[in-house]
Structure 1
């Protein structure tokens, strides 16, 4: 059945050409944004899954290229792969060279067939026992108004709350210290970010058992003979994470215990939804469905700006060689505003913004009080800075004395 659904991918018009060359330049951006919104609404799962639009802005003006692809067949990682391939091809053609063929990897069809087999394998059955043995019943919600979440999912727009967000930024000095090193001791940035998240949640809801869903790109190299590193498709997945917290003495013990439990998740969590939806054993499917879906969705977006190939570095140093770059115009609305954020009680996105680690926490005001989410976000920042500060070198006594001396001298001059 999976095979049939994958084979029956509908297609429509591949490329639309829009001539805006006769429109005054100062009006072109607004027209592009308006038309982008209209093109976004043309995707339909049963008829049209992707659409590409080329806007001609006239002679001596760079055109615009709009890519619209349904999330059902594409994820963020796929977009990075496609843009990389597109850039390399355009760059090669611009130099009069034949574009290199991209490396092949496991296809979506092959991956789907593997997951089907895995869900019924002895290894898959053993994995199901891991998931059902965790203390899901001991977790607590952050939600102030659980009924509001049910109202949001009811489909009745009148009962929906207003989409809201809060944000926090780790200090620049702390952020740079972590980002420049890539890890602290034996702990990766991901270890630190997620440890801070688990402890922030616990500080708000008072529970020693914390859970959240973690967005994964679904391409971890965990199975022999499976290579998804260059596979385009919707492979991104949500992996439920449950951590039992104790009052550990010392930052490194806190980190080590989180990493120990996180690394105990079988196969990076790839099998969770395969067992939940594909297992032929009805009892396994029922037990997996009985596991509560965590209310908080965590989306950690690593900073990849430092992972540049020699060709990328050349382009950064000589930007005039770039064949295309992100346009200033809007790409249109990708989902109806009223539907945003309804599938999960809240979503915390952790990324790097202008050199600083940040958290942006989205929620609806009929599910949480703003103060509750703001407190959780501030605790995350506090946990991050405490962890990073633990690894930062302490100034020597002499350096501290010189700093105090400069401060006192400055104060005396001002008061003199």
Structure 2
């Protein structure tokens, strides 16, 4: 053995790195040899993983990340496991990333009992909700998320209305209301007297060439008609197109009461509830998890703890106060939503498969870390610097409070926090990836403390210090995989037409650059949103292409 070590030490760094890579690949291959489940718990977990990840056969030694798993999918796995009476947490899934390991800790956690009756009453604002009102948008009632579905002609709109009403009953946050009193915004959860907003539009009499623009126009009008204090903050519209065509269904929800994970939950429940009611059965949705109201109350209490206050030195570290502004083509341009344009670039299917499966196995990293590494390198190179302050937008359903289960809770949980990255003395793509991953993993509590100290604590001095920090001009968000939101057999599919304007054109954009990544139709898609009043299209196109070059440099051959 000592002789072998001596020979290894005599190898050049390049040969040593190659040998290590080959050994790692061989190790991964050995670990992922298929082994079938041998217990009921392993079989149940394998079935759930297969459903969520879209894989026909999952072995008990397959690694969650190497199968293409991410943090958003982990939430769906936990939700389905809990429905199967298997108590798990997302933390456990990442700490025990194979079914063989995970099966040994099933039931090892104790979850708080969730309130199943209607949730009503005052609800403290969460950090992201306070961030929203702090922006003081020109039209804060028009800041939504929406999706437009293509639906089979045989779907009964009257049954859809019943389903939508049941979603409003079951998911309490959809009944939230907001009022400003003495300059301070407050929210309250209304009771079951709330009725869903469901409208029908017959477009069958207008020419087919005009139907697309009609849907978009009506959808925009609907999305601009929310009232934060009167509600409802979810609106549904059915579009009949006639001539044996498939119809369309719009679901628009104000962002104050939901997020991307919530949309997935609502889509799953929409499918399940319609299948039940159309078969003559009563609607029966899975049990509620921790309510948004209880989460907000627990979060407010936690924000005032000594544990959170200990993070202050991390967030106030000197480098964070030295952020440099991004370059601009037009320095005096107005950064408003009406001027928003989008540049979209993609990896091909083969490259995306390598990103999802080979990179985690090769580098032991997650997809968001890879994309963020490419983005940081692209922007710092553009700025002529080696460091960057960037806002990270993550799902925010972190398990920082014992017993909380948010896997099926609808609400706005997003966590947005500034992250300072430094790539000084880091030259190769792989070293940059390792550095970014290491810096990310040093963030206490996955960044939850920033918003708690900034908005929810009981010390005004701390809040003022946090509020004085520079605000990043660029934000990044990886939305995960959208390919399996709807089953192929579902009567609902995502439509290709526009769902209208989700944000008022009069509102100020919070950032100069918004970079969104997601997997759609088997391909990584990176969207860059910018203001044409600030940037030339060619500038953003160059940045987008440069980012993709950096991603490709990391793809294993």
The alpha-carbon deviation at position 366 of structure 1 amounts to 3.6
User: Can you list the C-alpha shifts for 1:81-118, whole angstroms capped at 9, x where unaligned?
Assistant: 11101111222334455544323222111111122112
Any idea what SS the aligned residue of 1:362 has? strand
Does residue 15 of structure 1 match 2:183?
no
Relative distance call for 1:206 and 1:24 in structure 2 (3 A) is closer
User: Are residue 121 (structure 1) and residue 305 (structure 2) matched?
Assistant: yes
Q: Using the alignment, how far apart are the partners of 1:233 and 1:13 within structure 2?
A: 19
Structure 1 residue 288: deviation in Å?
0.7
2:536 matches 1:358: no
Residue 136 (structure 2) aligns with: none
Equivalence for 1:237: 415
The aligned length equals 372
Residue number among 395, 399, 414 corresponding to 1:221 in the alignment: 399
Equivalent residue, structure 2, for 1:87: 271
2:459 paired residue number: 281
Q: Residue 361 and residue 249 in structure 1: after superposition, are their counterparts in 2 closer, same or farther (change >3 A)? A: closer
1:181 deviation in Å?
A: 4.0
1:175 aligned residue (347, 352, 363): 352
How big is the shift at 1:267?
Answer: 1.3
- In 1, Cα distance between the equivalents of 2:212 and 2:385? 51
Q: Once the 2 structures are TM-superposed, how far is the Cα of residue 249 of structure 1 from its aligned partner?
A: 5.3
1:166 to 324, 343, 357: 343
Measured after TM superposition, the shift of residue 214 of structure 1 is 1.5
Mark the CA change 1:250 to 1:374 in structure 2 (over 3 Å): closer, same or farther: same
1:365 to partner: Cα distance: 3.5
Structure 2: give runs of 5+ residues left out of the alignment.
1-121, 125-177, 179-185
Displacement after TM superposition at 1:281 (Å)? 0.5
1:18-167 correspondence to structure 2 within 5 Å: 18=200, 20=202, 23=205, 26=208, 31-48=214-231, 49-55=233-239, 63-133=247-317, 135-144=319-328, 147-148=331-332, 151-152=334-335, 162-167=339-344
C-alpha contact 2:197 2:234 (8 A) present in aligned 1: no
For normalisation by structure 1, the TM-score amounts to 0.78
Structure 2 vs 1, CA of residues 200 and 22 (structure 1 numbering), >3 Å: closer, same or farther? closer
Cα distance change of structure 1 residues 134 and 352 upon mapping to structure 2, 3 Å threshold:
farther
Of 179, 183, 187 in structure 2, the residue corresponding to residue 6 of structure 1 is 187
Is the deviation greater in 274-283 or in 179-188? 179-188
- Equivalent residues of 2:389, 2:421 under 8 A apart: yes
Partner deviation per Cα, 1:220-279 (whole Å, 9 max, x = no partner)? 233322222211111123122211212335443322221111011111112211210111
Q: Which has the higher contact order (CA 8 A, sep 6+)?
A: 1
Task: Return the alpha-carbon distance in structure 1 between the equivalents of residues 239 and 429 of structure 2.
Answer: 54
For residue 505 of structure 2, the aligned residue among 337, 351, 361 is 337
Distance (whole Å) between structure 2 residues aligned to residue 95 and residue 131 of structure 1: 54
**Aligned-partner Cα distance in 1 for 2:203–2:375:** 50
Residue 161 to residue 203, structure 1, CA distance change in 2 (3 Å)? farther
1:297 and 2:475 are equivalent in the alignment: yes
Taking the TM superposition and a 5 Å limit, the aligned residue runs for 1:172-211 are 172-181=349-358, 183-185=360-362, 186-211=364-389
**How many angstroms does 1:364 deviate by?**
1.8
Is the 8 Å Cα contact of residues 323 and 472 (structure 2) preserved in structure 1?
no
How many Å separate the matches in 1 of 2:396 and 2:307? 19
